[in-house]
């Protein structure tokens, strides 16, 4: 069996415990092996990062993608906001995403003569998070002091759309031009269902609370994505939009960079790519019959990931997340909101993935409402410090009401094995290009992968794309390795 993939190291952040308090990683324990996505699915796309050329490959891919983009609308005396958000900074360690952002600035300055280029980085529910990344990846220096975080409670600006007034963050739009810079990983596919994935940040990362609340409460789990499209289509945003650049992600790593003046053309390519690249691994993980899920990554509980798939996706993997005929995945905030006091209010609400017999929270952050996970999945938190972290987090004041504490990683894993009776372990620790699992689970996944690959190619992928009004042929224009 392969040795485990080195997990992403703990990070210093106000949203997590101090890195030195993470005494042991579960990937280092006996009986843990790893599976590469490219071995499970030999037709996985080639990656540019990680790779022999290191981070230079990302710079080269960004420069090549931007070559075909028209930047003539940007004049030397004007201002440009490069809009982005937090998610890319945890992808394969974050450096590839940071390098794409650096390269965008360099290319725009070189080609247009414009120097007033600002980085405006949106956040999820941890309002200082992008400020931490700006510092960590020295983006403030690269953007010559013009890099800052923007949050959904900052001053707003009304945006008139074809579905009425929605609200953006004023500082996202306080420039003559905007450049939309993101990554295409599908970690929160349970929310966006790979519908308008590339457009979504206009309804989230650059949007005020009113708009985000519209998405999560007013529209329904499959209609909600239209909120972002309405904002992007507004004359206000169209008058400022210059172009877009995306780091193209896959479960194996960074596949390339794609850029376009036409956001919807890119949207089609990356929507299809998302279904094609991630559909197999997500469907395969849905085959797991029983397991202990381990969180071991510097991110909030639902966002910890491995092989490009987050824990929240896995909590919903008992349902086909891409199939829009399923009204709801097993976990989204819509699902959560539909749980009445005595259980789901309607029969369309599926249960949380019953394969997860227990969750060992070895290392994960607060800063995202996560009590639902502890309430629905027996959870063991390693160490008093992490319990205290959750107890002082205004978004998680009841998380520990449902979870228990173990003194150390060994004790937590021993307890989980004894209580669940399973030795199948899946670890969400940011392993790049693959996933760390116990040998018993590796056997199951290797055995099932070929059939899952066939089923996705022949039946599921065409169905997913048809539901989104597109054809696999759009992939031929994708700029990848």
Partner 1 sequence: MKVVTMYPEVNRDKCTGCRTCERVCPVLAIKVVDKKATVDMSRCRGCAACEQRCPVYALAMVKRDDPFTVQVKVRDEMLPRIKEICARARINPEYIVCYCTATRAEEVVAAILEGAATPEEISLATGVRTGCKVECIQPVLRLLEAAGIKPARPEGGWQWYGRTITAFEIPQAVKAKFSKRGFYFDEDIKLLDKVAKATPTKEGAE
Chain residues binding partner 1 by CB under 8 A are 125, 127-128, 151-156, 158, 162-167, 193, 195-196, 208-214, 216-226, 229, 324, 327-328, 333, 336-343, 345-346, 348, 368-369, 371-372, 391-392, 394-398, 467-469
Rounded to a whole number of angstroms, the minimum distance from the CB of residue 217 to partner 1 is 5
Contact 417, 32 (CB under 8 A): no
Residue tagged 């993470």 (tokens): 22
When the beta carbons of 236 and 415 are compared against partner 1, the nearer one is: 236
- CA nearest to 432, candidates 50, 14, 119: 50
When the beta carbons of 44 and 194 are compared against partner 1, the nearer one is: 194
Q: In the sheet that 116-122 helps form, which strands lie side by side, from edge to edge?
A: 147-149, 116-122, 79-85, 177-183, 241-250, 253-260
The string over 404-426, giving b where at least 16 C-beta atoms fall within 10 Å of a residue's C-beta and e elsewhere, is ebbeebeebbebbbeebebebbb
Can you state the angle between helices 56-67 and 95-112, rounded to 10 degrees? 40
Rounded to a whole number of angstroms, the minimum distance from the CB of residue 322 to partner 1 is 10
d(CA 21, CA 16): 10
When the beta carbons of 105 and 197 are compared against partner 1, the nearer one is: 197
When the beta carbons of 110 and 217 are compared against partner 1, the nearer one is: 217
Rounded to a whole number of angstroms, the minimum distance from the CB of residue 221 to partner 1 is 6
Rounded to a whole number of angstroms, the minimum distance from the CB of residue 222 to partner 1 is 4
Rounded to a whole number of angstroms, the minimum distance from the CB of residue 369 to partner 1 is 4
Rounded to a whole number of angstroms, the minimum distance from the CB of residue 98 to partner 1 is 23
When the beta carbons of 109 and 157 are compared against partner 1, the nearer one is: 157
When the beta carbons of 15 and 49 are compared against partner 1, the nearer one is: 15
Rounded to a whole number of angstroms, the minimum distance from the CB of residue 473 to partner 1 is 17
The length of the chain is 481
d(CA 447, CA 451): 8
Can you state the angle between helices 263-285 and 439-455, rounded to 10 degrees? 130
The DSSP element (H or E) to which 225 belongs, if any, is none
When the beta carbons of 125 and 481 are compared against partner 1, the nearer one is: 125
d(CA 322, CA 82): 30
């Amino acid at each position: 069996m392969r040795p485990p993939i080195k997990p992403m190291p703990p990070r210093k952040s106000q949203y997590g415990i101090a890195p030195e308090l993470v005494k042991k990683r579960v990937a280092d324990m006996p009986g843990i092996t790893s599976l590469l996505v490219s071995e499970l699915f030999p037709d996985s796309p080639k990656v540019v990062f990680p790779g022999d050329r290191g981070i230079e490959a990302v710079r080269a891919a960004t420069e090549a993608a931007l070559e075909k983009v028209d930047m003539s609308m940007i004049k030397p005396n004007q201002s440009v906001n490069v809009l982005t958000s937090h998610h890319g900074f945890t992808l394969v360690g974050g450096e590839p995403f940071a390098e794409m952002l650096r390269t965008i600035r360099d290319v725009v300055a070189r080609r247009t003569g414009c120097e007033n280029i600002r980085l405006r980085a949106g956040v999820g529910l941890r309002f200082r998070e992008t400020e931490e990344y700006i510092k960590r990846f020295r983006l403030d220096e690269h953007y010559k002091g013009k890099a800052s975080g923007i949050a959904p409670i900052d001053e707003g600006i009304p945006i008139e759309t074809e579905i009425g007034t929605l609200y953006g963050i004023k500082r996202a739009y306080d420039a003559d031009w905007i450049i939309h810079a993101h990554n295409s990983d599908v970690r929160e596919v349970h929310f966006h269902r790979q519908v308008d994935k590339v457009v979504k940040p206009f309804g989230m990362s650059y949007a005020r609370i009113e708009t985000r609340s519209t998405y999560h409460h007013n529209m329904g789990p499959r209609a909600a994505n239209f909120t972002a499209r309405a904002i992007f289509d507004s004359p206000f945003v169209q008058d400022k939009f210059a172009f877009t650049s995306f780091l193209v992600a896959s479960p194996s790593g960074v596949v390339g960079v794609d850029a376009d003046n036409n956001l919807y053309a890119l949207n089609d390519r990356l929507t299809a790519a998302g279904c094609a690249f991630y559909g197999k691994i997500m469907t395969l993980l849905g085959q797991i019959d029983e397991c202990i899920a381990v969180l071991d990554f510097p991110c909030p509980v639902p966002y910890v990931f491995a092989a490009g798939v987050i824990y929240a996706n896995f909590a919903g993997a008992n349902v086909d997340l891409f199939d829009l005929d399923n009204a709801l995945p097993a976990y989204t905030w819509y699902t959560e909101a539909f749980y009445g006091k005595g259980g789901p209010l309607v029969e369309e609400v599926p249960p949380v993935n019953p394969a997860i017999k227990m969750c060992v929270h070895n290392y994960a952050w607060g800063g995202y409402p996560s009590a639902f996970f502890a309430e629905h999945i027996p959870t063991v938190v390693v160490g008093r410090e992490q319990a205290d972290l959750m107890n002082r987090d205004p978004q998680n004041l009841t998380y520990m009401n449902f979870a228990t504490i173990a003194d150390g990683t060994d004790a937590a894993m021993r307890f989980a094995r004894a209580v669940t009776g399973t030795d199948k372990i899946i670890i969400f620790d940011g392993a790049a290009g693959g996933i760390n699992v116990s040998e018993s689970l590796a056997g199951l996944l290797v055995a099932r992968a070929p059939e899952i690959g066939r089923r996705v190619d022949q039946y599921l992928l065409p169905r997913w794309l048809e539901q989104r009004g597109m054809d696999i042929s759009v992939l031929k224009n994708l700029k990848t390795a």
